Amino acid sequence: MENRIMLRPGICDVDNRHYLPEELTDGKTTVNENGNNSQVYPERLKEYKEVLVDGIEDTWYEYVPESYNPEKKTPLVLSMHGGLMNGWGQAVYTSWTLVADREGFIVVFPNAAKTRMWMMECDWDRVIETIGQISGDVPLLHKPEKNVEEYHDVKKTLKIIEKMKQKYNIDAGRIYMQGMSMGNAMTSQFARYEGKILAGAAGSGCPTNSKLLFDENDEVINKSGPLDIWQSRLELDKVPPHYREGDHGTIRRNVEYWNRVNECDSLPEISIRDEYNFAFYHGNKGNNVLMDVKNRDHGQTFDDAELVWDYLFSGCYKDENGVLCHKKPEKEMHADEVNIAVSAGQRKAWINNKVIEMPQSAFLWNKVKYHGLNGDVAVRGSFIYVSVRFISEVFGMECHIKENGRVVELEGTPKIGKLKTQKNYCIQFAEGNVASVVNNHIEAMYVEAVKKEDDLCVSLEWFVRRFLNLHISNCDGVFYATDHSAQISWHMADLIKMYLD
C-alpha cells in the first residue's frame, strides 16, 4: 500500500502526570489520558527559529512527509497547541503527522510567543472578575490593546504561511488550521479575522466566548467570510469560567455563529457512532460540523485529525478568486438513516432527521418495587413513554382504540426508513398491565401501560428493542434509538432538546 500510516511502538509512561513531559522528546515515550493521547515523537519533525515580525524570535516545527513532491501543489495544515504547551507538544498529541504521511500534505506546529499562551482577544473585565478571584492575579494572559490583526501571534502566523509558500510548493487554495484548547480559540480568532487565506478551520476543546462572536445587536463579527468549520467538543469538558453563557449556551452560540456565516440549513443531519456524536450542517456558502465525544475530558482525541481531514478538509478548497468550493472528500458524511429521539416533557420528536409533532409530550415513568421495604419505594428503572398512537404513526402500523382508549391494538409490520421487520404482528396493550399480548401470546414489558391525556402510553425503549432490535442510549433526559451501536452525549442531547423545544 502506497504511503502507509505506520505507528511506531513506544513505552507508555503511566506514572507521568506532567502536562507536557520533556520525556516525550526522546522518541521512545508516550503518555495517555482521557482526552489527550500521544504518539512517539515524529522522526521527521524539525524545529525552526527565526525573527519573522516585531523583532521577536519565534519558533515553529515543520513536518514534511517523505512522499512530498516539490513538483506537485501540496496542501498545508497549521496545528495550534493548547495553552502552556508548544508546537512539538501539539505534534505528539495529534495524529496530523501520521495523516500527512498518507495524504502527502505538510503540517506546521507554531509556538505561541514568549509565554506559551496565544495572544487572544477576550472579555477582559470578566476575566479579571473570575480568573483573578481564583488565582489572585491573571498570569500569562494578554490584555487586548490593539486590533486582532496587529497581535504578534496573528502576524507571525501569516508570516509562517508566507514562508511555507516560498519554501515549498504550497497549494494556496488548500490551507487549513486546527487547534486544541487555547489553540482552538486561536484558530477561531484567526479564522474570523484572517480566514480569507484558509479553506477550512477546526478545533477541539475551548469554544470561543460568544461575546467575541456577536456584537451588541446580535450581529456576527466576521472579517473573513465563509469557511468549512469543524468543532470538536468533549462531553466531560467545561468552558472557561469567565464565559457568561455556560457550557451548553456557549457551544450552541458557537454553532449558531458559523451557521449564520455559512448560511447553513436550520436542521443538521445527525449521526452517532459509538462514542462519537456528529451534527452535520450543510450551507449555501460553507459547511459546519459539530462533534461531541462521549465520556472524554478536555483535549482532543488522537484520531481527531484523521476525522477532520477525511470528512472536511479533504473536500474543501478556495478557487483563484478566493471563493470556497467543494469536491468529494476522502469520506462522505452520512446521517443515521434510522434515528429516533424524544425528550421528557417535549411534544416534538426527532425522526430520521426531521422534527414531527407527537399527540402528547413524552414523559418518564418509573419501574418501582414496594413489597418487603415497609412501604418504601425502590426505583428499578426509569423509562421514556410515548403514546401508542405515535408508535403506530412512526412505524407504519394500524391502530385500533377500544374501551375509551384503555385498550389499544397495533397491527402490521413495524418499519421505519430502510428498516423493516419480516413479521406481521398483532400487539395488544391495556391500561395498568405490565403485560402485552403479541400474536396471541403473553409478553411482559419493562413497565405497565399508562393512560395519560386520553392516550394509552407505553415504553418506547421496550417497543423498539422488542420489534426492531434498535440500539438505545439515554443522556440528560433524551432517548436516542438507531440501528447500530450509539451512545448519545451530553452536548448532543442538549442540541436535540433545542430542536424539540
* Residue-level pLDDT at 127: 74
Q: pLDDT higher for 1 or 280?
A: 280
The pLDDT value given to residue 146: 73
Q: How confident is the model at residue 244 (pLDDT cuts 50, 70, 90)?
A: confident
Residue 14: pLDDT over 90: no
Lowest mean pLDDT among 42-56, 94-108, 139-153: 139-153
User: What does the pLDDT look like over 184-241, one tens digit per residue?
Assistant: 999 999 999 999 999 999 999 999 999 999 999 999 999 999 999 999 999 999 998 8
Q: Give the pLDDT confidence score for residue 61 in this predicted structure.
A: 98
pLDDT bracket for residue 15 (50, 70, 90): confident
Q: Average model confidence (pLDDT) for the chain?
A: 93
pLDDT in tens, 452-497: 989 999 999 999 999 999 999 999 999 999 999 999 999 999 999 9
pLDDT > 60? residue 139: no
Least confident range from 84-93, 301-310, 361-370: namely: 361-370
Q: Which residues pair with residue 378 across a beta bridge?
A: 369
Residue 376 has pLDDT above 90, yes or no: no
- Closest by alpha carbon to 204, among 175, 173, 229? 229
* Grid cell listed for 52: 519573522
pLDDT of residue 121: 87
Mean pLDDT of 412-419: 92
Place of cell 449521526: 271
pLDDT at 134 exceeding the cut of 70: no
pLDDT for position 372: 64
Rg of the chain on CA atoms, in Å: 26
Alpha-carbon distances, residue 42 vs 23, 36, 62, 76, 96 (angstroms): 13, 17, 11, 18, 10
Exposure string of 86-100, with b = 16+ CB inside 10 Å and e = fewer, is: bbbbbbbbbbbbbbb
- Residue with grid cell 527565526, as numbered in its chain: 50
Task: For 100-152, give the DSSP string.
Answer: HHHH--EEEEEPPSTTTS------HHHHHHHHHHHHSS-TT-PPP-S-GGG-H
pLDDT of residue 1: 55
375: confidence class by pLDDT, cuts 50, 70, 90:
low
pLDDT of residue 403: 94
Beta-bridge partners for 108: 62, 78
Rounded CA gap, 446 and 463, in Å?
10
Kindly report, residue by residue over 61-77, the tens digit of the pLDDT. Answer: 999 999 999 999 999 99
> What would the mean pLDDT of 382-393 be, rounded to a whole number?
97
Give the closest residue to 461 by CA, choosing from 340, 338, 295, 336.
340
pLDDT higher than 90, residue 325: yes
Residue for grid cell 395519560: 452
Confidence of residue 16 (pLDDT cuts 50, 70, 90): confident
Give the SS3 label for residue 39: coil
Highest-scoring range by mean pLDDT, 31-35, 130-134, 347-351: 347-351
Average pLDDT over residues 12-28: 87
Give me the pLDDT at residue 368, please.
Answer: 86
User: What percent of the chain is predicted at pLDDT more than 70?
Assistant: 96
Indicate left, alpha or beta for 444 from its phi (over 0: left) and psi (-120 to 50: alpha).
beta
pLDDT tier at 420 (50, 70, 90 boundaries)? confident
Residue 371's contacts (CB-CB under 8 Å, 6 or more residues apart) are none
Q: Is the pTM of this model over 0.75?
A: yes
The share of the chain scoring above pLDDT 90, in percent, equals 83
Listed in sequence order, the residues at least 6 apart from 148 whose beta carbon sits closer than 8 Å to its beta carbon are 121, 154, 189, 193
